[in-house]
Amino acid sequence: MDSAFAIADHERYRDHTVELPNSIDLSHHLSSLAKNRQSSALKDLYRYAARPGMIGLAGGLPNPEIFPFLELSAQVYTHDALGITPATANVGGGGGGGGTGSDAQSMVKKPSFFEWLFGKKTTTETITIGKQPASASPLDINLNTLLQYSSAQGHPALQAFIREFVSKVYQPAFADWDVLLNIGSTMAWSHVVFMLLEPGDGVLYEEWSYPGAMNTASPLQTHKVSIKVDGEGLIPEDMNKVLAEWDEEKRGFRRPRVLYTVPTGQNPTGATMLAARKKIIYDICVKYDIIIVEDEPYYALYADPWQSQKHQPKQIGARYADVEHHTDSKDTDEEFLKKLPPSYLKFDYQGRVIRMDPVKKASYPDFRNKSAALVAKLLAETWKYDGYIRWLRGIKATYAMRRDWMCDLFETVFHLEFDQTLALSQHIRWVTAYERTAPGMGGAGAATIMDEKRGFKSNKAIVSFVPPTAGMFVWLAVHLESHPRFAQIKDADGPEGVNKMLYELWTELAEKNVLVSPGYFFDAQPGVPHEGTENFGFFRLSFSMANHEQMESAIKTIYKVFVSFFQEK
């Protein structure tokens, strides 16, 4: 009955092929609250609970005989239910073994005629969890154990599964790492906040960051310290400068010791950081003794860059690891994994990286309550490691397809150009969307000017973005400076005025039934101008939910609203 508390060492997943150093002592980072925590004396007893023949009279555990659930059962997709190659809007179906037909909205494979005829292939299966243990192993998944009080680390089977995943996929550079199951990234981050920070401490964030994380740290009255970003995320030179020039007296708080970062498909900017820059950031964190907390809900969504219909490949978009593109369907699982940017863990020879790895975005969000039992059953016993990797490949293709829809629609509706002028990052290709000069899209009457590089073009840059290689968002920079009243408003009201203009535009879109997130929700230091982009307002557009028709209608509305906004006198 108490076996979940005790997972024997030999049942943990370990990679015995590599000799790695142990982590260094970083206990000076613990907050006074964390230092004052004491382990529960009762929980210490549980170590003995699973010993064969042990008669348990110690714990106040309810008797599982009277737990009301006798069996849990669910019908689930098979691990290969999703196609691997993103379908295009016109062709449809999940390629790479995916189905055919005109349904471009779904990546779920349809059984072929022969599969249907011979009843061989189906995309769903049933998983069932019974009440009684089928074996004495702590890895056994049964309701008596799953519904019982258990170790804070989570169910042993799920723990073992995650250990195998971390070891093979992230390959930490130190030996004595461990995993802890949480109900989500926000809760994990909240634990980290209280474990590491004192009231009034500073936290390093990307200059645009996930509000959920910043709000989680605010009850401790932490200070947000923003680091500049470009299309690949944190800029090392800026981070180094902020830390090297830290003046405690002037700032009023000590140099930050914690970095919160979303390295892949960052929310909201969509930026993805590759290996070389991660190594530099890691070394800066070693130099200034900083704990890196990487929050990676979008990791497995990292996909081939968007391919413009009209421009040369590789001209446009966020940087992608130097690998062949558009071979996803032919990749082995090994090759799929090799294409993912390495985790900070891969550089972490000291044990200063905490990785938060929500599986919610790659499966489903409600992990609360007893659904944890089904997750254990699905991942650890049904799909297992190989099945989960295959599932992630389908998820990646699904969101890559949706990213392509959005970028393609921008290309169709606006006049898109590869931007030479946006010097926000040298190696990330921004695209700028201009008002169309051709009649038909509401851009009639737009003035055109001759440009040496571009030939004739509309003179009104409307929005710019980096086609993302991961995540669920396009981070849209709105060229507010193109508005006739911009200079006047900015002079009068500063950054607040810029936000007011953006709010006007946001309201206009909302009135026309297009709901986007205003960028200032994500601002890590409101009121402080973002050097290089201070004349832009930002919107975050998610491509995760809308179907193609809705997305098309939204982008056409955005076009019309923006063009008329910028024509306003």
Ligand X SMILES: Cc1ncc(COP(=O)(O)O)c(C=O)c1O
Q: Minimum distance between the CB of residue 297 and ligand X, rounded to whole angstroms?
A: 5
Q: Minimum distance between the CB of residue 359 and ligand X, rounded to whole angstroms?
A: 8
Q: Minimum distance between the CB of residue 406 and ligand X, rounded to whole angstroms?
A: 17
What would you report as the CA-atom Rg of the chain, rounded to the nearest whole angstrom? Answer: 26
Nearest of 476, 509, 486 to residue 208 by alpha carbon: 476
Report which DSSP code applies to 342.
P
Element (H, E) at 350: none
Q: Minimum distance between the CB of residue 290 and ligand X, rounded to whole angstroms?
A: 19
Q: Which is nearer to ligand X, 94 or 184 (CB)?
A: 184
Q: Which is nearer to ligand X, 162 or 431 (CB)?
A: 162
Annotate 161-185 with b (16+ C-beta within 10 A) or e (fewer).
bbbbbbbebbebbbeebebebbbbb
Q: 557 is written with which tokens?
A: 């509305």
Q: Which stretches within 210-274 are classed as H helix?
A: 211-217, 236-244, 248-251
HEC sequence for 164-181: HHHHHHHCCCCCCCCCCC
State the Cα–Cα distance between residues 478 and 485, nearest whole angstrom. Answer: 15
Q: Which is nearer to ligand X, 359 or 389 (CB)?
A: 359
Within 13 Å of residue 247, how many CA atoms lie on the same side as its CB? 4
Q: 522 is written with which tokens?
A: 């994500």
Q: Minimum distance between the CB of residue 470 and ligand X, rounded to whole angstroms?
A: 11
Which residues of the shown chain bind ligand X in the complex (CB under 6 A)?
184-186, 210, 212, 262, 267, 295, 297, 358, 360, 365
Work out the angle between the directed axes of helices 236-244 and 275-287 (0-180°, nearest 10).
10
Amino acid at 488: Q
State the Cα–Cα distance between residues 269 and 523, nearest whole angstrom. Answer: 11
State the Cα–Cα distance between residues 86 and 157, nearest whole angstrom. Answer: 32
Report which DSSP code applies to 234.
E
Q: Which is nearer to ligand X, 196 or 461 (CB)?
A: 196
State the Cα–Cα distance between residues 479 and 481, nearest whole angstrom. Answer: 5
Q: Minimum distance between the CB of residue 263 and ligand X, rounded to whole angstroms?
A: 10
Q: Which is nearer to ligand X, 138 or 358 (CB)?
A: 358
Q: Which is nearer to ligand X, 186 or 448 (CB)?
A: 186
Q: Minimum distance between the CB of residue 213 and ligand X, rounded to whole angstroms?
A: 6
Q: Minimum distance between the CB of residue 184 and ligand X, rounded to whole angstroms?
A: 3
Q: 397 is written with which tokens?
A: 């293709």
Nearest of 70, 75, 59 to residue 2 by alpha carbon: 59
Q: Which is nearer to ligand X, 208 or 347 (CB)?
A: 208
Q: Which is nearer to ligand X, 344 or 566 (CB)?
A: 344
Contact 272, 371 (CB under 8 A): no
State the Cα–Cα distance between residues 295 and 304, nearest whole angstrom. Answer: 21
State the Cα–Cα distance between residues 529 and 517, nearest whole angstrom. Answer: 19
Q: Which is nearer to ligand X, 148 or 267 (CB)?
A: 267
State which residue has the least CB distance to ligand X: 184
DSSP conformation letters of 281-297: HHHHHHHTT-EEEEE-T
State the Cα–Cα distance between residues 476 and 29, nearest whole angstrom. Answer: 38
Distances (CA, A) of 48 to 45, 52, 53, 56, 525: 6, 9, 10, 9, 50
Q: Does a cis peptide bond (omega within 30 degrees of 0) precede residue 305?
A: no
Q: Minimum distance between the CB of residue 227 and ligand X, rounded to whole angstroms?
A: 16
- Sequence-separated (6 or more) residues with CB below 8 Å from residue 496: 527
Q: Minimum distance between the CB of residue 36 and ligand X, rounded to whole angstroms?
A: 26
State the Cα–Cα distance between residues 45 and 43, nearest whole angstrom. Answer: 5
Q: Minimum distance between the CB of residue 188 and ligand X, rounded to whole angstroms?
A: 8
Nearest of 156, 153, 161 to residue 180 by alpha carbon: 153
Q: Minimum distance between the CB of residue 302 and ligand X, rounded to whole angstroms?
A: 14
Q: Minimum distance between the CB of residue 358 and ligand X, rounded to whole angstroms?
A: 4
